[in-house]
Copies of this chain bind each other. A is one copy, B any other.
Amino acid sequence: MIASIKLPKRVRIVEVGPRDGLQNEPVALSWQDRTQFIDLLSAAGFSAIEAGAFVKPSLVPQMADTGDVLKAIQRNLGVRYPVLVPNAKGLQLAVESGAQEIAVFAAASESFSQKNINMTIEQSLANYAEVVAQAKGAGLWVRAYVSTAFDCPYEGAVPVKAVSSVANQLGKIGADEIAIGDTIGTATPARVSKLTDSLLRVIPPERLAYHFHDTRGMAAANVLTAMLHGIWIFDSSAAGLGGCPFAPGAAGNLASEDLLYMLSEMGIETGVDIEKLTEASRFVLEKLHRPAASRTLQAILSK
C-alpha cells in the first residue's frame, strides 16, 4: 500500500445487524427468526454479534423477547454476543437470560442524550457507572457506544473534545470496548482523522471501535482512514440493515458485505466467509421483504 503507511493485518468486525440493524427496520421479526439470523452470522465467522436489546417492547417491538433469543442461539466459543441494556433492570434481565456481554449507549451531544435516553450526558454516565460496575462484578464484558460522535441531528457539529471526554469517562467506568458512532452518517475522512488523533490520546486502539453509517457513501473511506491511524475494530450490519426503508437504496449502517469486500481485497483477515454471510443476509432480507442496502451484496445477488 502507500509507502510508509501501515495497515492492520487483521480486523475484527462487530456484526450489529441483529440489534442496530433490525431495530431500525419497520418489520419486527420473531425471536425465532432473529435466533436463526444470529446462528447464520455465527456460522459465517463473526467474532462479535450484537444479539438484541433489553428495552421496552412497547417502544421497540423489534427487540421483544431478546431473552428468548439469548437462550436459543447456538453460542460459538470465542464469539461475543452483546445485548444492549439501558439500566440496572435491563442488566438483570440480560444476566437472567445468560448474557455474557452487554452494551450501554451514551451520546456526545447533550440534546441527543436528552431526546434519545431522557438523561443529560452526566446523568447517563452516572447511570452507566452503576450498571457497568454491576456487570463487571458479575463477570460480564462491556461495550459502550458514543453516539453522535460527528454531528447531532439537533445541534449540528459535535466538538472533538466532547466526544473524547465521553469516551474517556466510559473507559474509566470500566467499559472494555468503546464504539464511536457516526449516528447520522456525516463523517468524512478528514474528521475521522482528527477525532481518532484525539481519541487515541485517551483510549488505546484495542479498546476503540468505529461504527460508521453509509448515508453519504463515505463509510469505506472512513474505515480506511481509521485503519491508517491504527484502528482495527469496526461495526457493520449484514445487508446494510438499518437504513431508512422509505428511500429505496438509502443506506444506514455500513454493510458487512461492503466492509468485508474491501478488507479481503486488501489482504486483511477478518475470519468472515462472504458466502455464508450472503446466506445470512438473504435469509433476513426475505423475512423483512426488503432489498439489500449493501452495494456489494446487490452486485452479488444480481449475478
Contacts and interface: CB of A to CB of B under 8 A. Distances in A.
Contacts of A302: 244, 247, 250
A4 B1 contact: no
Interface stretch (A103-111, A168-176, A209-217): A209-217
Given A249-B250, A250-B302, A265-B188, A295 B216 contact: yes
B225 A188 contact: no
A295 B293 CA distance: 11
Nearest to A264: B188
Size class of the A contact interface (CB-based, 8 Å): 35 or more
Contacts of A248: 248-249, 291
B247 A298 contact: yes
A180 B255 CA distance: 27
A11 interface: no
A255 B265 CA distance: 23
B261 A218 contact: yes
A262 B215 contact: no
Contact of A189 (B190, B247, B262): B262
Nearest to A302: B247
Contact of A185 (B220, B225, B247, B299): B299
A214 B295 CA distance: 8
A276 interface: no
A244 B295 CA distance: 12
A294 interface: yes
Contacts of A4: 4
